[in-house]
C-alpha cells in the first residue's frame, strides 16, 4: 500500500490572485485570513488577491502569503478525507509542513513565519545578495566553481532541487562570477531568481538570533506524521531538533532531491503540492518519475480528489 505526501512550496511560487477562490467559497478560509490580518497588522488577503505583484514579492508578505494559503488548502483536503502519511516543505514551506502536521497551531506558525520573513528582510538589506538556478552541471563541478568564485565574493550552493538543477546564493560579485564560470563550463542555462536576498547562504546569519528566540518561545508539539527536513533530508524527531533545524535552515542548503528520494524509499508514491503553482510537482517528476504527482492550489483542484 502506497503512502501520500503533502509538500509545500517556498518563495517564488506566489502569484496575485492566490487563495481568492478559496476565500470566496469557504467560511473557514475567510476566518484564517481574518486571523492572519490581526496577527500581521496588514490586510494579507487584499495583497494576495489584488496585488500589486511588487508588494506580494516582498519577503515580509510572500512568506505569510504562502503559509496561509498552504495551511488553508491542506485543511480543505483533510476535510475531504485526504490525509498525508508524511510531509515536507521547501524553505518557507517547511514551516507550513510542520503546522499541517500539527506541530504548531495556525497562529503560532504564522507568528514564526512573520519573525523569519522580517529577519530575513533585514539581513538582505544589511548584506545584499542574489540567487540563480544553474541547469545542467553536476554538484561536484558547481561546488568547485563556487569555491573559485569565492575569491571575489561569498557564493555557495543553496538548493539541490533535482538532478541537474542547482541554485547558488551569495553576494552579487560572487554569484555573477560563478555564473560566468558555470556557463564557460557548459551549464545548459542560468536563471536569475526573483528573490530579495541571498537565502540559504552565510549572508542570512544575521537573521538567526531573532528566529532562534522566536522558535524557543513557540509552543511546538510532536508532529502527527513524519516531516522530512531541508537540512538533513531526514524526518526530524523531537521538539529540540525541530527548533534547531528550522534555525539552521536559514544558512544551510535545501536538500530537496534527497528529501524526495528518502520519502519515496519510505513508501511515498503520491505527492500533492499544496500551494500556488507547480514548481515542486515539476521537481518531484524529475527526481522520481515513477510516482504520482498532483497540485492542489485552487478550489477546482479539490474536485480532482472528491
Q: Catalogue the active-site residues.
A: 91, 200
CA dist 291 and 86 (Å) reads 15
CA dist 89 and 256 (Å) reads 9
Dihedral sign computed on CA atoms, order 279, 90, 48, 124: negative
- Find the angle CA(123)-CA(9)-CA(100) to the nearest 5 degrees: 100
Instruction: Specify the residue for cell string 554569484.
Output: 175
Dihedral sign computed on CA atoms, order 71, 269, 298, 120: positive
Residue 131, SS3? strand
CA dist 117 and 168 (Å) reads 20
> Quick one: residue 189, left, alpha or beta (phi over 0 = left, psi -120 to 50 = alpha)?
beta
User: Can you state the angle between helices 106-126 and 208-217, rounded to 10 degrees?
Assistant: 170
CA-wise closest residue to 100 among 8, 208, 210, 17:
8
CA dist 236 and 188 (Å) reads 35
52 cis-preceded (ω within 30 degrees of 0): yes
Distance of alpha carbon 175 from the chain centroid: 21
- Find the angle CA(78)-CA(84)-CA(89) to the nearest 5 degrees: 105
Question: Alpha-carbon Rg of the chain, whole angstroms?
Answer: 18
Is 8:100 a contact under the CB 8 Å cutoff? Answer: yes
CA dist 249 and 94 (Å) reads 9
Amino acid at each position: 500500500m502506497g503512502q501520500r505526501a503533502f509538500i509545500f512550496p517556498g518563495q517564488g511560487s506566489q502569484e496575485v490572485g492566490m487563495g481568492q477562490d478559496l476565500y470566496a467559497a469557504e467560511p473557514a478560509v475567510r476566518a484564517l485570513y481574518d486571523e492572519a490580518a490581526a496577527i500581521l497588522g496588514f490586510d494579507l488577503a487584499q495583497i494576495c488577491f489584488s496585488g500589486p505583484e511588487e508588494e506580494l514579492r516582498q519577503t515580509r508578505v510572500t512568506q505569510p502569503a504562502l503559509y496561509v494559503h498552504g495551511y488553508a488548502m491542506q485543511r480543505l483536503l483533510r476535510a475531504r478525507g485526504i490525509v498525508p502519511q508524511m510531509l515536507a516543505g521547501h524553505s518557507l514551506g517547511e514551516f507550513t509542513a510542520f503546522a499541517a502536521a500539527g506541530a504548531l497551531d495556525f497562529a503560532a506558525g504564522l507568528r514564526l513565519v512573520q519573525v523569519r520573513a522580517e529577519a530575513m528582510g533585514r539581513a538582505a538589506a544589511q548584506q545584499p545578495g542574489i540567487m540563480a538556478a544553474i541547469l545542467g552541471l553536476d554538484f561536484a563541478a558547481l561546488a568547485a566553481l563556487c569555491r573559485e568564485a569565492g575569491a571575489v565574493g561569498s557564493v555557495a550552493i543553496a538548493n539541490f532541487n533535482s538532478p541537474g538543477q542547482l541554485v547558488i546564493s551569495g553576494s552579487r560579485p560572487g554569484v555573477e562570477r560563478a555564473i560566468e564560470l558555470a556557463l564557460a563550463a557548459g551549464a545548459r542555462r542560468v536563471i536569475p531568481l526573483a528573490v530579495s536576498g541571498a537565502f540559504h547562504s552565510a549572508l542570512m546569519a544575521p537573521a538567526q538570533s531573532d528566529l532562534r528566540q522566536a522558535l524557543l518561545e513557540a509552543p511546538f508539539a510532536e508532529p502527527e506524521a513524519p516531516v522530512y527536513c531541508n537540512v538533513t533530508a531526514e524526518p526530524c524527531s523531537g521538539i529540540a531538533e525541530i527548533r534547531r533545524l528550522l534555525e539552521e535552515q536559514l544558512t544551510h542548503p535545501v536538500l530537496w532531491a534527497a528529501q524526495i528520494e528518502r520519502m519515496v524509499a519510505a513508501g511515498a508514491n503520491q505527492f500533492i503540492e499544496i500551494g500556488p503553482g507547480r514548481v515542486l510537482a515539476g521537481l518531484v517528476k524529475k527526481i522520481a518519475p515513477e510516482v504520482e504527482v498532483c497540485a492542489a492550489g485552487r478550489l477546482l483542484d479539490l474536485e480532482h480528489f472528491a
